[in-house]
Amino acid sequence: MTPTPPAAVMILAAGAGTRMRSATPKVLHRIAGRSLVAHALAAAAELDPGRTVVVVRHEREAVASHIADVAPHALIADQDAVPGTGSAVRCGLSTLDATTVAAAVAAGAIGDRAVLDNQVQGSVVVTSGDVPLVDGALLGALVAAHEEQGNAVTVLTAEVPDATGYGRIVRGTDGAVLRIVEHKDAPAEVRAIREINAGIYVFDAAGLRDALAHLTTDNAQGELYLTDVLALAREAGGRVGALVAPDASAVEGVNDRVQLAAAGGALNRRIVEGWMRAGVTVVDPATTWIDADVELEADATVLPGTQLHGATYVAAGATVGPDTTLTDVEVGEGATVTRVHGSLAKIGPGATVGPFTYLRPGTVLGKKGKIGAFVETKNATIGAHSKVPHLSYVGDAIVGEHSNVGAGSIFVNYDGVTKSSSHVGDHVRIGSDNTLIAPVEIGDGAYTGAGAIIRHDVPAGALALNAVSQQVVEGWVERRRPGTPSAAAARAAQDADDSRGLSSGAQEERAAAAADHKGEA
């Protein structure tokens, strides 16, 4: 069943995260292409809450500005100097209440009525900025249980083999949840309990507000514990329920970098499995990494050692990998992308890229085009059916359709001061080892000779060449490099020619050709 959207989701992210030993706040560390807090925000968004608020304090500016980027609609609440999760939720709730009242004032809904009537009402989900495996489905199940049971508080719990450090769920003989006891406050018999508090709850807003007012710091850590709200809610006559997470590993928090990597691996397995179930062939899930925001169509194939990041999109019938890393790359239907490192590029349907190809931002390859081995491209549009097959650099260029760029050609886009672009038309044949010095334009159907240096525009249909003629100096090696292996090889070849009795005609032709070249030079 689809639960009713909660009035609000609150994400706690004020803690220092000292065990990360990092200059970066814990909730900004990333797995699967998103920060930890962005995972929490994405899960929250799936509930379609009335409001979302993130409670911050440690590295406030960095965290708040990141949240503004990834979830501009989310409210920021600043935690005051009072430590503890209870204090964090107090601050979050007062921000929610203040903005709810402000919205009501703005909408003209508050007239004579008391401000109190316009505080947040209904369900408030509280979750943590450091539990990236908790998704919208799990939060939704918790909200559904809360609604079904008519609870004042519903807590997400898990049965774990080692409960050290967690708050323990203390149940009565009838199984009802009585209270949560923090590890540091727990006597031995409570520490023996394996059911732990995952730190994720649904509260009735009014009951939460009342209970928060009664929290004390009378505990081992001298903090305001949010967990004390459960016993207070019971005392006030509310029902307290629990949902035991079906997969305990999904509620594990990230406190250090070992857990960060573990959560990253677990999330990746979940994402990769999701795509396989959706019809994507993944040959080796263990070496395939797919970010949360990547999309693939059914019948795409991902070969071993492939990492798909950011907003990468792979269409049906395309094959990506092996050993390919794509960030924000769009791969068209039926395209083949082999051993490529690419970012912010678009590969057309049926196109071929690789092996050993570097696609830099702004590369656009048309339908059935090819960017081959040891080619680097940047800000380059290469039209349908056009090919840059071998050993080239194409930067700041537009190449039309059905054109070919010969092996080893360089688009010289930088004169040391400014960058310029070049334009190659349709059905053009750029010879091998060309140097195109931008800005230069090559008209449709033009050819350029091997080794050409193109400094000026080439009109449509013309042949451009500027290669120096070849000189042949007969016998030079034997005269000028005597005693070398080359001289010996030359002598042996000459002797073989002589003993085969090369026709006098052929010998004359050869001599004439040599003389010709000397003359030209």
Q: Is 423 a catalytic residue?
A: no
Partner from ligand UD1, Ca ion, none contacting 92, C-beta within 5 to 8 A by type: none
**Beta strand 195-204 pairing with 289-290:** unpaired
Ordered DSSP codes for 231-259: HHHHHTT--EEEEE-SSGGGG----SHHH
Q: Is 55 in the site for ligand UD1 (CB under 6 A)?
A: yes
Comparison of 84 and 321: residue with beta carbon closer to ligand UD1: 84
Q: Is the dihedral of CA 43, 240, 227, 179 positive or negative?
A: negative
Partner from ligand UD1, Ca ion, none contacting 227, C-beta within 5 to 8 A by type: ligand UD1
- 6, 33, 84, 207: which one binds ligand UD1 (CB under 6 A): 84
C-alpha to C-alpha distance for 444 and 430, rounded to whole angstroms:
11
First to last CA, the chain: 87
Token pair for residue 76? 């920021």
Q: Interface with ligand UD1 by CB under 6 A: which range of 78-86, 396-404, 496-504, 505-513?
A: 78-86
**Least distance in Å: CB of 130 to ligand UD1?**
5
Q: Is 349 in the site for Ca ion (CB under 5 A)?
A: no
Q: Is 154 in the site for ligand UD1 (CB under 6 A)?
A: no
Q: Is 404 annotated as a binding residue?
A: yes
Comparison of 221 and 507: residue with beta carbon closer to ligand UD1: 221
Q: Is 321 in the site for ligand UD1 (CB under 6 A)?
A: no
Size of the site for ligand UD1 (CB under 6 A): 26
Cβ–Cβ < 8 Å for 26, 18: no
Q: Is 330 annotated as a binding residue?
A: no
**Beta strand 357-359 pairing with 340-343:** parallel
Q: Is 203 in the site for ligand UD1 (CB under 6 A)?
A: no
Query: What x-and-dash track marks residues 253-272 binding Ca ion by CB under 5 A?
Result: x-------------------
**Least distance in Å: CB of 176 to ligand UD1?**
18
**Beta strands in 250-369, from DSSP E residues, in sequence order:** 281-282, 289-290, 295-296, 301-302, 307-309, 313-314, 319-320, 325-327, 330-331, 336-337, 340-343, 346-347, 352-353, 357-359, 364-365
Ordered DSSP codes for 109-160: --SSS-GGGGS--SEEEEEETT-TT--HHHHHHHHHHHHHHT-SEEEEEEE-
**Least distance in Å: CB of 401 to ligand UD1?**
54
> Alpha-carbon Rg of the chain, whole angstroms?
35
Q: Interface with ligand UD1 by CB under 6 A: which range of 141-149, 222-230, 331-339, 432-440?
A: 222-230
- 97, 130, 204, 441: which one binds ligand UD1 (CB under 6 A): 130
Go through the chain and tell me how many residues it has.
Answer: 521
Identify the CA nearest to 306 among candidates 315, 316, 291: 291
**At what angle are helices 136-149 and 36-45 packed, to 10 degrees?**
50
Partner from Ca ion, ligand UD1, none contacting 12, C-beta within 5 to 8 A by type: ligand UD1
Q: Is 334 in the site for Ca ion (CB under 5 A)?
A: no
**Candidates 390, 423, 427, 517; catalytic one:** 390
Partner from Ca ion, ligand UD1, none contacting 83, C-beta within 5 to 8 A by type: ligand UD1
Q: Interface with ligand UD1 by CB under 6 A: which range of 106-114, 124-132, 314-322, 327-335?
A: 124-132
Whether residue 355 has a cis bond before it, omega within 30° of 0: yes
Partner from Ca ion, ligand UD1, none contacting 128, C-beta within 5 to 8 A by type: ligand UD1
Q: Is 320 in the site for ligand UD1 (CB under 6 A)?
A: no
Three-state SS at 229: helix
Q: Is 129 in the site for ligand UD1 (CB under 6 A)?
A: yes
Q: Is 95 in the site for ligand UD1 (CB under 6 A)?
A: no
Fill in the DSSP letter of residue 198.
Answer: E
Q: Is 41 in the site for ligand UD1 (CB under 6 A)?
A: no
Q: Is 132 in the site for Ca ion (CB under 5 A)?
A: no
**Beta strands in 253-403, from DSSP E residues, in sequence order:** 281-282, 289-290, 295-296, 301-302, 307-309, 313-314, 319-320, 325-327, 330-331, 336-337, 340-343, 346-347, 352-353, 357-359, 364-365, 370-373, 375-382, 387-390, 393-399
Q: Is 361 in the site for ligand UD1 (CB under 6 A)?
A: no
Residues marked as binding for UDP-N-acetyl-alpha-D-glucosamine?
Answer: 12-15, 26, 79, 84-85, 128-130, 167, 182, 197, 255, 360, 378, 393, 404
Positions that interact with Ca ion (CB under 5 A): 253
Positions that interact with ligand UD1 (CB under 6 A): 12-15, 55, 79, 83-85, 87-88, 128-130, 166-167, 180, 182, 196-199, 225-227, 253
Residues marked as binding?
Answer: 12-15, 26, 79, 84-85, 128-130, 167, 182, 197, 255, 360, 378, 393, 404, 407, 413-414, 432, 450
Q: Which residues are catalytic?
A: 390
